[in-house]
Amino acid sequence: MATKTLAAIATVLLLAGCKASAPAETTQQLMKNKVDPASKVYFNAVQYISDETGEHDIMPKTDADWEKVRKAAADLQVYGKQLQGDDYAKGRNPDWVKFSQALVDASKEAEQAAKDKNVDKVFEVSGTVYNVCSACHMAYPPPVPAASGTPAPSPSA
């Protein structure tokens, strides 16, 4: 009896391991909850603003500020790798993986710029990261919210 029970348990566990799991978040949720906030931290880290009140240079000042910028870039690498996985890439054109890898590559450069505390390089690389995101969004536009405020279904979800 114990052998049959053990065999049944083993079979159930093996079959459970074969079952495909859905990603924890949809592509839109991953973008909204993780990619967008991390990219904003990086994009906003270094800014040169000229307005009616004068010129303002915004940049990290403390080690903690620089660490936030570095972590944002490192997080973007993780999300770029995640987007290359079957959970997100399956059913998409091969350029999806190329865009995701471009995010990883640009984010590695972004992280190094932050580690080096190189203000000019952080500013420059933020443009590269932005361009990678924009190119992907041209090929895979985010869903446009419906008039009711509910997001419209997207074929790239």
Amino acid identity of 68? K
Q: Look up the pTM and report it.
A: 0.78
* pLDDT, tens digit, 9 for 90 and up, residues 66-114: 999 999 999 999 999 999 999 999 999 999 999 999 999 999 999 999 9
Output the CA–CA distances (angstroms, integers) from residue 58 to 49, 55, 120, 128, in the order listed. Answer: 8, 10, 12, 19
Q: CB within 8 A of 75, min separation 6: which ones?
A: 34, 38
Which phi and psi (to 5°) does residue 47 adopt? Answer: -140, 145
Q: Determine the 3-state secondary structure of 22 from DSSP.
A: coil
Which domains does the chain possess?
A: 27-139 (1.20.120)
Which phi and psi (to 5°) does residue 12 adopt? Answer: -60, -45
Q: Where is pLDDT greater, at 154 or 140?
A: 140
Look at residue 16 in the predicted model and tell me its pLDDT. Answer: 45
* pLDDT, tens digit, 9 for 90 and up, residues 20-74: 566 789 999 999 999 999 999 999 999 999 999 999 999 999 999 999 999 999 9
